[in-house]
């Protein structure tokens, strides 16, 4: 049976995961957060005392890091060697390590297989950096979601402040710009808009407006349109 797939790519903080989660829920699809898989691997490298530039050592230990995902109440959980690490992978240190190590071919090919397998087995909304360009080039609907770096930093700042975590908006924006640079300029599967992806700039849109826009694109596509 052919499964439906929606690919959502874009830079850090553009709102991909919030929207992908909502769209998946409304459509009854599985939400696949590929960033969480790269993050779990990065956590493993940190725990092994490996630094981001040690590509050879990363290649050597990769086989020892088993990444699996499961769904609890419809929410994706990521497991590293049987341990649920979902709550440990959102720190700044892990974010930086993830962006730095996701550029390696061996890291990417390990996770590519898992991502394609998931899309083969279920209807998915999958978000990441290279889903429309590389992981699922035949995705039924591709969206490239973006927003200005200041707006993205502001959203992250509000999120952290709400959780009582002290932070500085300038620092956050600097981190976002650095990550974008690295993700867009790496050699393998860089962050890019697929030619056939719909560009969605969410700078001036509320979460509900973006979710409605994505569902309208899906309905348009399902009815035989071009998604716009």
Among residues 176, 180, 175, the alpha carbon closest in space to that of 191 is found at 180
Q: Per-residue string for binding with ligand DC, 34-53, x by CB under 6 A? A: xx--xx--------------
Looking at beta carbons only, is 86 or 99 nearer to ligand DC? Answer: 99
Looking at beta carbons only, is 108 or 221 nearer to ligand DC? Answer: 108
Asked if 117 and 70 touch (Cβ cutoff 8 Å), the reply is: no
- Interatomic CA distance for residues 140 and 196, integer angstroms: 10
Give residues with Cβ within 8 angstroms of 96, minimum separation 6.
Answer: 52, 175, 179
**Phi-psi label, residue 13: left if phi above 0, alpha if psi -120 to 50, beta otherwise:** left
CB of 196 to ligand DC, least distance (A): 18
Q: Per-residue string for binding with ligand DC, 163-202, x by CB under 6 A? A: ----------------x---x-------------------
Among 7, 12, 19, 197, binds ligand DC (CB under 6 A): 12
**Which residue stretch of 50-58, 96-104, 166-174, 213-221 sits at the interface with ligand DC (rule: CB under 6 A)?**
96-104
CB of 128 to ligand DC, least distance (A): 2
Both tokens of 126, joined, read 């999958």
The yes or no reply on residue 102 touching ligand DC (CB under 6 A) is yes
- Interatomic CA distance for residues 158 and 164, integer angstroms: 10
Longest dimension (CA), the chain: 51
The yes or no reply on residue 98 touching ligand DC (CB under 6 A) is yes
Chain residues in the site for ligand DC (CB under 6 A)? 12, 34-35, 38-39, 98-99, 102, 128-131, 179, 183
């Amino acid at each position: 049976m052919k499964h439906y797939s929606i690919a959502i790519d874009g830079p850090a903080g553009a709102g991909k995961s919030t929207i992908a989660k909502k769209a998946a829920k409304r459509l009854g699809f599985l939400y696949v957060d590929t960033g969480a898989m790269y993050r779990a691997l990065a956590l493993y490298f940190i725990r092994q005392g490996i630094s981001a530039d040690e590509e050879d050592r990363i290649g050597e230990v990769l086989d020892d890091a088993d990444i699996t995902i499961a769904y609890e109440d419809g929410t994706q959980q990521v497991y590293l060697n049987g341990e649920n690490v979902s709550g440990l992978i959102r720190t700044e240190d892990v974010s930086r390590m993830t962006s730095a190590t996701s550029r390696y071919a061996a890291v990417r090919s390990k996770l590519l297989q898992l991502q394609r397998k998931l899309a083969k087995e279920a209807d998915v909304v999958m978000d990441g950096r290279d889903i429309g360009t590389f992981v699922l080039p035949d995705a039924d609907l591709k969206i490239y979601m973006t927003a200005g770096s200041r707006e993205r930093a502001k959203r992250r700042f509000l999120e952290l402040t709400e959780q009582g975590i002290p932070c500085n908006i300038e620092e956050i924006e600097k981190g976002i710009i650095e990550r974008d640079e690295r993700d867009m300029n790496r050699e393998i599967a860089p962050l890019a808009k697929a030619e056939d992806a719909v560009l969605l700039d969410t700078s001036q849109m509320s979460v509900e407006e973006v979710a409605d826009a994505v569902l309208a694109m899906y309905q348009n596509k399902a009815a035989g349109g071009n998604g716009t």
